[in-house]
A and B are shown apart, each in its own frame.
Chain A
């Protein structure tokens, strides 16, 4: 393409009228000049003009071929197609609106999933050259967990290796209670802001001086989020202080919006790592053995593989020198502020995309059906254009242009719908999420250019699905016959239509079966009884042993607390296991240490013997067992008074619940060596929660509230939520960094909560699917009845009863509906089997009844009746056809 060519093309595009006028003038001149020649030869002017024109041929054809030479034909045709499409829409605005709305709903729900995925996987942090950032991981070689990377290792790594141009160490997301709210603080080494190369918008960044051991500064730097959430964007926030463990920390800076410290969510503030003891008093004095994350900027020119090899060699040398036997390999993971394993996330999101994509698919199937119907209606128009010489490709292109226009309008609508859906979902989540689960940090994920690009791409892909087949169908006609007003048999796309109905019913069935399963499971979860008091029980963690006495005094003195007891480990922690032996028998049991009033607080009855006495404490040789343990060890006896031997075994591990708090926490010394104890009581077996690891069955050893590492369970009076808030207020005054306080009611509700979320989502999707399917079915059948009025009239004139006609029309839809139902519920059942086959299958199936026959049958019944209803109205209309009238129409 030459410059000249570009100039001419641009001229043709920008000044189309002038170019057209000149073309006409040029061609007209030729004819006139030819005529003049003939006149000069003696012909009459009229005859000369006629001959000249005849010799030249059709001017329009020559003009058209000249236009083709311009190379702007494609653009011009598209513009013409767009004009034509807009006129078509204006003529049938309802059809256009239906198509746009249907596709917009589908695109909207898919965009919701994509927006979330985008936030987790594709939205890299606003850090210069973020591609250079890698975090160092020690991965497990054998079964033993690798020893953590610590600050001394970090210092050595920075000193000894040159893999990173610089690196920082961090302890992320420590919760801090500030004025009754939780603030997430990430501790970083002083060089953090230099490594990430981010400059604060206000005040200053942290410096290595702030982080000097023992002489550092008590300062924090707020993130934009923290500034917004906790200080309402106060412009005078610099210099204000935040109390951390009683010590004031000065706010010295605020970072720019969009910087998340290379985390997905990002903290509210950053503080020097040397202040760890203030933020986590439990780690005070052992700062050098606390695990840290090491993140660094690769030295330019060093490849990732090379860097990893260097680090691995350095680490194994160092481990050998320090005789660290827990050898591990070192790995480098890209650190971009997204989740570290994008592929896993995408795999996790795939089922969601499928579920939400089904809605889009159903919507598209509806539109395709509508377009197929319109294609038949437009056969005459298309026939005329074909016989005027338009190529089939040209008409398909024109039909596709219409569809792409509709799809782009739908993409815009889908964007609005996705924003609306996300905003309402987040505000619903914030309102219903139990507060005691900690500070819920939900925010509406932002839409960026990727979401926009995704929507446009999805819209165009959807067009391919819903518009191409109808367009091909509509143009596969014989122009001569359509001009005569005959509908070509071939253009009645019965098979395509049935397939589309089948697909729709299939998707609705799949989604509604899921909804029904979740609903039934949620109802049974709401009725589930864990066997101990949940309504008025509160769990209180005590993290800071120095404050234990004051905390317990506060709990004991609180007017709302009716009774309290100690338990170790805390209720939601992973269960400890040991072997319990009596005589020859030996059985693995769960064990925990509890104080005397524990069984009373939780309302678990002691069926035989007695509870612990207040004076019984750790290492006293007594125990209480639950009924199942007693039965296993002493099948004939009562158990009370028997001798029991507890043997620790590190290989014994409880599998844990679906939601276990901190499952990787190292077990405490609980049962360092084997102990022989006397059973003083037998407690009732209670099932406990299914979703978390709270099981009150096994062996109980004595402890007291003043014993280290115990947590408190308390029974409160009045509204447990209010009582909890009062306790939080009172206890944070003693220890601002205290652990969590959770009501057991919240834990009990969690199960229902998640099932309800799953139910709502699948019900909304399933409902949408059914609605679209039913409306699609209705319109297709109505259309079919209209098309076949003549045939029905003939049938009735020949003696068919109204009943037979109705049956005929219903039979039309029966097959695709039944096939769709079978496929949908079959796939649901297959998915259920697949879930059961996974390792967590047994746990999941306790809570989600994936094979609940009632759920399957009821959702199928709903679909069948909805489809029958949708089909009945047009079928009944068919039966009312007056044979005389239709025959007279001939």
Chain B
């Protein structure tokens, strides 16, 4: 299995928040969605996904709810809270700024 490149520190939180922006998803769906959209470039290390989800939950940015899943058994679904939405906006803007800056350096330096 190809080793996935390490994510930049802090970006995992951003990706999770962004993924949960529209729907409530369970943990597996979050990782699947990230993998699909990034066209398999980003593969989430499962061992860090759940700690990250729990951390975000403790920070109050996401909330969890037990719902019946597509498999017919119950699963823990996460959704963004109002403060999570604000946090996502802040982090997305920060990311934008960073990516632009790195892009400029790569072009001109």
Contacts and interface: CB of A to CB of B under 8 A. Distances in A.
B58 A26 contact: no
Nearest to B60: A4
B80 to A, nearest CB: 13
Contacts of B51: 62, 65-66, 68-69
Contact of A29 (B46, B47, B73): B73
A5 B63 CA distance: 11
B86 interface: no
Contacts of B32: 37
Contacts of B57: 4, 8
A29 B26 CA distance: 9
B60 A65 contact: no
Contact of A32 (B47, B59, B66, B71): B71
A71 interface: yes
B25 to A, nearest CB: 11
A70 interface: yes
B75 A29 contact: yes
B47 A65 contact: yes
Contacts of A69: 51, 54-55, 58
B58 A8 contact: yes
Interface string B48-77: 101100110111100000100101011110
Interface in A296-316: none
Contacts of A71: 58
B68 to A, nearest CB: 11
B28 interface: yes
B77 to A, nearest CB: 10
Contacts of A25: 74, 76
A69 B62 CA distance: 14
A413 B39 CA distance: 68
A30 to B, nearest CB: 5
Interface residues of B, number: 24
B69 A29 contact: yes
B59 A5 contact: yes
Contacts of A57: 45-47
Given A55-B46, A66-B50, A30 B58 contact: no
A143 interface: no
Given A32-B71, A65-B51, A4 B27 contact: no
Interface string B1-41: 00000000000000000000000001111001000000000
Nearest to A5: B58
A69 B60 CA distance: 13
A857 interface: no
A345 interface: no
A5, A8, A30, A36 — most chain B CB neighbours (10 Å): A30
Contacts of B76: 22, 25-26, 29
A554 to B, nearest CB: 89
Contacts of B58: 2, 4-5, 8-9, 69-71
Interface in A46-70: 55-58, 61-62, 65-66, 68-70
A30 B54 contact: no
A52 to B, nearest CB: 10
A627 B37 CA distance: 120
B59 A26 contact: no
Interface string A14-30: 00000000100111011
B50 A62 contact: yes
A30 B59 contact: no
A2 to B, nearest CB: 5
B28 A2 contact: no
B51, B55, B59, B73 — most chain A CB neighbours (10 Å): B51
B71 A33 contact: yes
A66 B76 CA distance: 14
Interface in A644-692: none
A33 B28 contact: yes
Interface string A154-184: 0000000000000000000000000000000
A27 B27 CA distance: 9
A76 B41 CA distance: 39
Given A5-B60, A29-B75, A32-B71, A62 B46 contact: yes
A160 to B, nearest CB: 66
B60 A2 contact: yes
Nearest to A58: B47
B47 A30 contact: no
A118 B43 CA distance: 66
A684 to B, nearest CB: 94
A589 B71 CA distance: 114
A26 B66 CA distance: 10
A25, A29, A56, A68 — most chain B CB neighbours (10 Å): A29
B59 A2 contact: yes
A616 interface: no
Nearest to A2: B60
B46, B75, B76 — most chain A CB neighbours (10 Å): B46
A22 B73 CA distance: 13
Given A56-B46, A61-B47, A66 B54 contact: yes
A61 B49 CA distance: 12
A26 B71 CA distance: 13
B14 to A, nearest CB: 17
A34 interface: yes
A544 B80 CA distance: 94
A56 B54 CA distance: 17
A70 B26 contact: no
Contacts of B75: 26, 29, 33
A3 B28 CA distance: 28
Nearest to A68: B51
B60 A30 contact: no
A8 B58 CA distance: 7
Interface in A62-92: 62, 65-66, 68-71
Contacts of B50: 26-27, 30, 62, 65-66
Nearest to A63: B50
B4 to A, nearest CB: 11
Contact of A34 (B28, B47, B60, B74): B28
Given A62-B50, A69-B55, A30 B71 contact: no
Contacts of A27: 50
A58 B46 CA distance: 10
Interface in B74-91: 74-76
A62 B52 CA distance: 11
A302 B44 CA distance: 70
Contact of B27 (A30, A61, A65): A30
A741 B27 CA distance: 93
B55 A30 contact: no
Contacts of A36: 71
- 4 nearest A-B residue pairs (beta carbon): A4-B60, A69-B54, A65-B51, A33-B28
Given A30-B27, A62-B47, A69-B58, 7 more contacts: A26-B50, A27-B50, A29-B71, A29-B73, A32-B71, A33-B71, A57-B47
18 contacts: A2-B59, A2-B60, A4-B60, A5-B58, A8-B57, A8-B58, A26-B27, A26-B75, A29-B27, A29-B76, A33-B29, A57-B45, A58-B47, A62-B50, A65-B47, A69-B54, A69-B58, A71-B58
Interface of A: 2-5, 8-9, 22, 25-27, 29-30, 32-34, 36-37, 55-58, 61-62, 65-66, 68-71
Interface of B: 26-29, 32, 45-48, 50-51, 54-55, 57-60, 66, 69, 71, 73-76
